Amino acid sequence: MTRKASLALEDGLVFQGLAFGAEGEVYGEIVFNTSLSGYQEILTDPSYKGQIVAMTYPHIGNYGINEQDEESRALWAEGFIVRELSPVVSNYRSQMSLDEYMKKHGKIGIQEIDTRKLVKHLRDHGAKKGVISTVDHDPESLVKKARESKSIVGADLVKEVTCSQPYEFRETLMKGFEWGEPAPGKKVFKAVALDCGIKTNILRKLVQHGFSVTVVPAFTSAEEILKLEPDGVFLSNGPGDPSAVPYVVETVKKLIGKKPIFGICLGQQILGQALGATTSKLKFGHRGGNHPVLDLKTERVEITAQNHGFVVDLDSLPADEVEVTHINLNDKTLEGFRCKKYPAFSVQYHPENSPGPHDSDYLFQRFYELVEEANGAAV
């Protein structure tokens, strides 16, 4: 039980703790998430590809793991850092412990370190490359390895998480955990979701809001997408640097104006780039379930789930083509925009939550209405 594990950052900060999950050594960008619950959703969110996640809340693993709460088919985060792994699981839905789950997926975790110190360091110095090892405990060697590891900046991580084949998605929200208020008894539209690392709950929300969904790989061309005759196109979240996936941006450029588009997270960054905006890396990103976002039209605040390290530069948006719709109240960064000329909009945060609050369901409804309107106009 008391296996050693070490964590080292590229700038020399080293922690010695205890291992859980699998054995070995992993690299990634060290980031932190402030959600108090939802570790399973976080670990299975493809957007964490290339990253090692530290949870700020000290007790993790308390309620175990169940297959219903997976956000994708795999555990994508490269490694997991917690203050204390729960010795037992306690929840009626639990099927296995976090430790078993990590082992099953060959993922490495470290616990019993001063995670607050780590988080403060990342906050003050920015996200860092790092390594967790259960085999090497030499600080010097580890720091060197961290320094020499690959950066996620400029790396195409999407190709590692996207699906290989198109598929239909038909599930809706899990019974007993339905939320949101889709308009009842309406026409079902066809949406194509471009999978850059899509979270399952986005798909469920699309189905719930009246879409039949075809998920296609990120490398699918605009022509192939149009051939599917979708009523709307959805641009998913995904890992890493938006500048590393110019092929997706090109695809989207060709879709703008042809089909109503809704993008989430990386989807917003790609839509932004397709419209000519630039993106840049935040110091330490937004990861948690408590970020206040202001809807500039309604002046209402949504508490949102967030997971992004890159952001569309607010002042790079072409003002004549784009209207800013949402702003982050913490750091005033861009959280959402819409095209003035074409039916396309996006948000930087996660209205599908999972984990996180359910304040932003209306965005799926807005997408539906946009599609409805576009189709009505076409008829």
Partner 1 sequence: MPKRKDIKKILIIGSGPIIIGQACEFDYSGTQACKALREEGYSVILINPNPATIMTDPETADRIYIEPLRVEFLEKIIAKERPDACLPTMGGQTALNLTVKAYEKGIFQKYGVELIGAKYEAIKKAENREQFKAAMLKIGMDLPRSDFAYSVEEGLEIAEKLGYPVIVRPSFTLGGSGSGICYNREDLEKTVRLGLEYSMVNEVLVEESILGWKEFELEVMRDVRDNFVVICTIENFDPLGVHTGDSITVAPSQTLTDKEYQRMRDAGRKIISEIGVETGGSNIQFAVNPQDGRLVVIEMNPRVSRSSALASKATGFPIAKIAAKLSVGYTLDEIPNDITKYTPASFEPSIDYCVVKIPRFAFEKFEGVDGNLNSQMKSVGEAMAIGRTFKEALQKGLRSLETKRAGLGADGRDKVFDRVLKTREEYLHFFEELPHNTDLLTKVCQSAGKPREDRIFYVKYALMAGVSIEEIYRRSFIDPWFLAQMKQIVDMEKKLAAAHGQAEAQRQLIRDAKRMGFSDRQLGFLWDKTEDEVRHFRRALGQEAVFKLVDTCAAEFKAYTPYFYSTYEDEDETIKTDKPKVMILGGGPNRIGQGIEFDYCCVHAAFALKELGFETIMVNSNPETVSTDYDTSDKLFFEPLTLEDVLNIYEREKPIGVIVQLGGQTPLNLAKALTDRGVKILGTSAEAIDAAEDRDKFKKLLQKIGLRQPANGIARTTDEAVRIAGEIGYPVVIRPSYVLGGRAMEIVYDEDFLRKYMKHAVEASDEHPVLIDKYLEDAVEVDVDLISDGETAVVGAVMEHVEEAGIHSGDSASVIPPFSLAADRVQEITEKTKLIAKELRVVGLMNVQYAIYQGQLYCLEVNPRASRTAPFVSKTIGVPLAKLAAKVMVGKTLRELGFTEEVKVPYVAVKESVFPFVKFPGVDIILSPEMKSTGEVMGIDEDFPRAFYKSQDGASCHIPDSGTVFISVKNRDKERIVPIAKGFHDLGYAIVATLGTAEILKKNGIPAEVTRKIAEGHPNVADLIRNDKVKFIINTPNGKGPMLDEAKIRSLAVSYNISCFTTLNAARAALMGVQAVRGRGLEVHAIQDYHAMLRQDKAILSGK
From residue 256, give the alpha-carbon distance in Å to each of 262, 274, 278, 354: 10, 8, 17, 28
| Residue 3 contacts partner 1 per CB under 8 A | no
Give the whole-angstrom CA distance, residue 141 versus residue 255: 48
| Residue 83 contacts partner 1 per CB under 8 A | yes
Q: Contact letters (x/-) for partner 1, 110-139, by CB under 8 A? A: ---xxxxx-xx--x----------------
The two counts, helices (H) then strands (E), for the chain are 10, 19
| Residue 101 contacts partner 1 per CB under 8 A | no
Q: Report, in Å, the least distance between residue 155 CB and partner 1.
A: 25
- Residues in the chain, how many? 379
State both tokens at 294. 């202001």
Query: Closer CB to partner 1, residue 35 or residue 346?
Result: 35
Q: Report, in Å, the least distance between residue 331 CB and partner 1.
A: 8
Phi then psi dihedrals of residue 175, to 5 deg:
-60, 135
Residues 262-291 that bind partner 1 (CB under 8 A): 288-291
Residues 173-192 that bind partner 1 (CB under 8 A): 174, 176-177, 179
Give the whole-angstrom CA distance, residue 73 versus residue 221: 24
Phi then psi dihedrals of residue 291, to 5 deg:
-80, 125
Among 6, 8, 27, 38, binds partner 1 (CB under 8 A): 38
Q: Classify residue 185 by burial, with Cβ atoms within 10 Å: 0-12, 13-18, 19+.
A: exposed
Query: Closer CB to partner 1, residue 35 or residue 273?
Result: 35
Taking Cα atoms as reference points, which of 44, 31, 67, 38 lies closest to residue 161?
A: 44
Q: Is 350 a catalytic residue?
A: yes
| Residue 200 contacts partner 1 per CB under 8 A | no
Rg (CA), the chain: 20
| Residue 297 contacts partner 1 per CB under 8 A | no
Q: Which stretches of the chain bind partner 1, using CB under 8 A?
A: 15, 32, 34-38, 40-41, 56-59, 62-63, 66, 68-69, 83-84, 86-93, 113-117, 119-120, 123, 174, 176-177, 179, 288-292, 294, 299-301, 303, 329-330, 353-359
List residues with catalytic annotation. 265, 350, 352
